[in-house]
Structure formats: C-alpha cells, structure tokens
A and B are shown apart, each in its own frame.
Chain A
Amino acid sequence: MFKHIVLFFLMVLSAKILSADELRVTVTSQFTNVHSGPADEYPVFYVISKGEEIDILKERTDWYKIRTVGVKAKQIEGWIYRDALTATVLKNGVGLKAPTGSFEDYQSRDIELTFMGGVLDNTAALSATGSWIWTRNIAVDANYTQALGDFSDNKLWSIRMRHTVFPAWKVSPYLALGTGEIRTKPKASLVQSGDDVRKSSHYEVGLGVRYYLTDGVLVNAEYRSVLALTDRDEQERIDQWLIGASVFF
C-alpha cells in the first residue's frame, strides 16, 4: 500500500516538472501589486505599471504567479491577486476573467465534495460524498458513512440521485433517493460477540437544505431515513441527522 502511494507521489512529481504552460498578457490598470507569496499577508515587493507585459505561470487559490517580460536577469517573479488579473488583456485585446468560486461559478460546477458529521441513531457518524452534477437540478452522489458506536461499527455506502428543487436559490432544499449496503460489525471487546460482519442492502431517502456560504463553500444540513432490508422478519429503520460543508470544482 505504502509503496503504491510513494510511486503515485513520484509520478505526480515528474508530471509536475514536465508541465509548463504560460499565458502572456498586458496590464491595463494603473498599477498592479506583486506579492512575494500567494497570500495577502506576503509583502508587496514590485509594482507593475500600465502597459507592461507579463506571463501568467500558474494559479494557487485566488493568486496567480506571474513573471515580467524582459531581459532574463531583470525578470521578476511574484504573485498577483485574482482581481489584478481581471485588469489585463491578451494580445488581441480580449480581457481575462478569473474563476472566483462565485455563485455563478457554483451554478456551472461539475464536481462536488461533501463532508458531514452527525448522528446515526445515537452514535456519532461521519459521512463523505463525491457528487457529479448531471444537470442544474440533478446530481449523482456516491456516499460513504461510518458510525462507530460502543457496541458495533456501522458502515454504509450508497449511490443516490439528488434533486435540487431550486438550483438558482442560495438557500435551496433538496431531495435524495438512493440505495446501497450497510455493514455492521459487533465490537470485539463485547462478550459473546462473534467476528461476523452483518451485511444488508438498504434504501434511503434524504431531505436536506444547502446554503451557498462564500467563495466556493456550501453548508449542508440533511436528514436521512435509511430502511435496512435485514434477514430478520422485520425491516430496520435508521434515522440519520447530518451537518457539513461542500466544496465544488
């Protein structure tokens, strides 16, 4: 396992070194501050004046790494803020607009990652979800939840369809329907507990509300009703309450 991770790490590193894409633009604002690092806290050490040409090298969160154009010895490398990038034009006069994680960007997102915490019956539960935004209203979720209680470990995975009723609203309710599997394992320290893992399929209905908080972050609250199709005579109903946050790409 660890070997594979290291191998993957080396692959990413080599791909990193090989890739280099740059974009030449001309600054149109009166002046642009260049910071020494990709954050507002880093000091401004250079100012680009209007009409100067720069190369955009890469992007880190809201910051863009740039290099001034000129004699190699006199080139300056630094970071400019997203808003400064908006005040630049390409050679053909076309302006640039940076993706900001704004509500407009949110509405055209493709992928979403959600982490939630809460309770499953009376045990603490953690949930991670990857979502593919199919249409404005419909998303496909792959969800994994675990609830590690005093007497048993419960793990649930499910695939579900989520319908956002009003995608253009900042506070928007949604409804989800899904199916998957529950694995329940009794605690090893319990007397008379076997090592057997109980598996059963389940159906779930989720009812939630999400709120677009700020730059690329959403807050979610959800109730899930899980119906486990057990081998026993009666079906088991589990209630789940979760709250968490999502990021989107």
Chain B
Amino acid sequence: MIKRLSDVDMHVALKTSISTTRDVLISNRLKGVVSYCVLCLILLFIHAQIAMAQEDVVSSNRSSGDTNIDPNIERRSVEEFDIDSENIEVGVFAGIISIEDFSSDVVLGARIAYHVSENVFIEATYGQATAGETSFEVLSGGAPFLTEEERDYTYYDVSLGYNFNGEVFFTKDLVFNTDFFVTLGAGNTDFAGDERFTVSAGIGYRLLVTDYLSVRFDVRDHVFDSDIIGVEKSVHNLMFTLSTSIFF
C-alpha cells in the first residue's frame, strides 16, 4: 500500500532533491570553471610561445636589416669571421752596449710591444750583458772592482713610443713600409749588486719586410745614478741593437 507522504516528508524530500541537484550543478559548474581555467592557461602559454617566437623573428629581422654587427660577436659563433688582429709585436735583439766606465759588451734581449694606434705603442724590453773591466783595472792589474756575479748587467723597462710612418724605395718596384720612432721609458737596471731606477730614451727605425715581419735598428740610452766607482754620478749606457720582430 502506498503510504501517503506527509507534507513534512514531501518538504524534506524536495529539499533533499533540490540540494542534491544544486550540489551536482555546483560541482559541474566548478568542473567547468576549472577546465575553463586550464584551457585559458594552455592558450595563454601557447600565445606566449608564439609571441616569443615572433619577437625572435622580429629581432633577427631587425638585426639583419639595418643595424651593424660587431665582428667580435660574430667571431664567437662563426669561425670564418675571425679577422686576424696584429697589434702585438714581439722581437729578439742583439747588439752592443757601452757600459760607462766598464767597456763595451754584447747585449742580448727581447721585447714585446702593444700598438695602441698607428702612431703610439707601449713596449717592454728585457736585456742582459756582462760588463768588462774598467781602464783602471786593466792598467793597474790590481784587485777587480766587482766580482764576476756583479758584472752581470740586466735591465728591463717599459717605454712609450711614437711612430713616424714612412716608406723606403730600394728600386722603383721594391718598396717597403718603414717607421722611424722615438721612445721614452723607465725601468730597472741590476748591475754591480744593486738595482737602480733607470730612465731610457731612444730612437729607432723599423723596416717591414712583410706585413708582420720587421727588421729593426735601435739606439737607446739608459741613464741611472751610480756610485760604483766611488763618486755619485749619472751614468749613460748607450745601446745599439739590431732586431727582428713579428706582429701577431
């Protein structure tokens, strides 16, 4: 038999069904919102990717269009863009140094220069020689002034140089580029057991056999205060050298 539902029961049942329906509706809506959000996010992500790709294209177009590109930057990525730069000059030299009061001797050395511009360069020089005997030592035949070790003459300096560029014509067709240059520098001379602050000044002539190979003739004066022979005085040590150097 069918039991008649009371009003109260009806009300409860209705309320329950409504709330269930509402729950379902809400949960469905929630799902919808979530999936909508996910979709939006995906779209947003795709959009961002496309935008970025487009930006790349635009920027690469821009760079290939009108602006300049530094070959230094290209150098990193593409090997054949490597332009050989030749601003450093290294060389070895040999010659004669006249050490004041101590006769003249053979000097050997090396130098390295950096060419800042077509005219200006900075150069570091190292040289060594062995001093001979003073006239007094030779004539008197007495006790030597210095020990063998103290006769070792080594010096180094850093100079600033200025090139006067030119050419030399051996014949009509045999032409070489040349530089006449002056240098001024300061450094250190280790001689007679002491190191001395040394000022150096010089002139020279550089003949470029090829673009990177040169033959040089240098005259340098090294000046320092010395009391080796008893009285304090400025000594001048003139050096004449012939050298070969390469630019790289």
Contact = CB atoms under 8 A, between A and B. Distances in A.
Interface of A: 1-2, 5-6, 8-9, 12-13, 15-16, 19-23, 36-42, 56-65, 86, 92-99, 113, 115, 117, 123-124, 126, 128, 146-148, 153, 185, 187-189, 215-217, 247
A189 B246 contact: no
Given A62-B117, A98-B71, A153-B194, A16 B212 contact: yes
Contacts of B63: 94
A27 to B, nearest CB: 15
Contacts of A15: 248
B118 A5 contact: no
A178 B143 CA distance: 48
Contact of A60 (B64, B86, B92): B86
A141 to B, nearest CB: 17
A93 B110 CA distance: 45
A6 B92 contact: yes
A5 B92 contact: yes
Contacts of A2: 92, 108-110, 128
A14 to B, nearest CB: 10
Contacts of A57: 84
Given A59-B84, A60-B87, A97-B68, A115 B167 contact: no
10 contacts: A36-B167, A38-B118, A41-B166, A42-B165, A60-B87, A113-B114, A117-B186, A126-B187, A148-B188, A215-B117
Given A6-B92, A23-B83, A216-B116, A42 B193 contact: no
Contact of A9 (B114, B187, B211, B246): B246
B246 A61 contact: no
B242 interface: no
A20 B79 CA distance: 12
B82 interface: yes
Contacts of B208: 37
Interface of B: 63-64, 66-72, 79-87, 90-92, 108-110, 114-119, 122, 128, 158, 163, 165-167, 175, 177, 186-188, 192-197, 208, 211-213, 227-228, 246-248
Given A16-B248, A117-B186, A128 B158 contact: yes
B116 to A, nearest CB: 6
Contact of A21 (B83, B119, B158, B194): B83
B177 to A, nearest CB: 4
Nearest to B117: A61
Contact of B177 (A1, A42, A61): A42
B115 A60 contact: yes
A63 B86 CA distance: 10
A212 to B, nearest CB: 14
A146 B195 CA distance: 10
Nearest to B70: A97
B122 A124 contact: no
Contacts of A99: 70-72
A37 B83 contact: no
A20 to B, nearest CB: 8
A23 B246 contact: no
B211 A58 contact: yes
B69 A97 contact: yes
B119 A9 contact: no
A76 to B, nearest CB: 15
A61 B87 contact: yes
B174 to A, nearest CB: 13
Contact of B118 (A1, A8, A63): A63
A36 B64 contact: no
Nearest to B232: A150
Contacts of B66: 95
Given A58-B211, A94-B64, A115-B122, A188 B192 contact: yes
Given A39-B165, A96-B71, A115-B122, A9 B91 contact: yes
Contacts of A97: 68-71
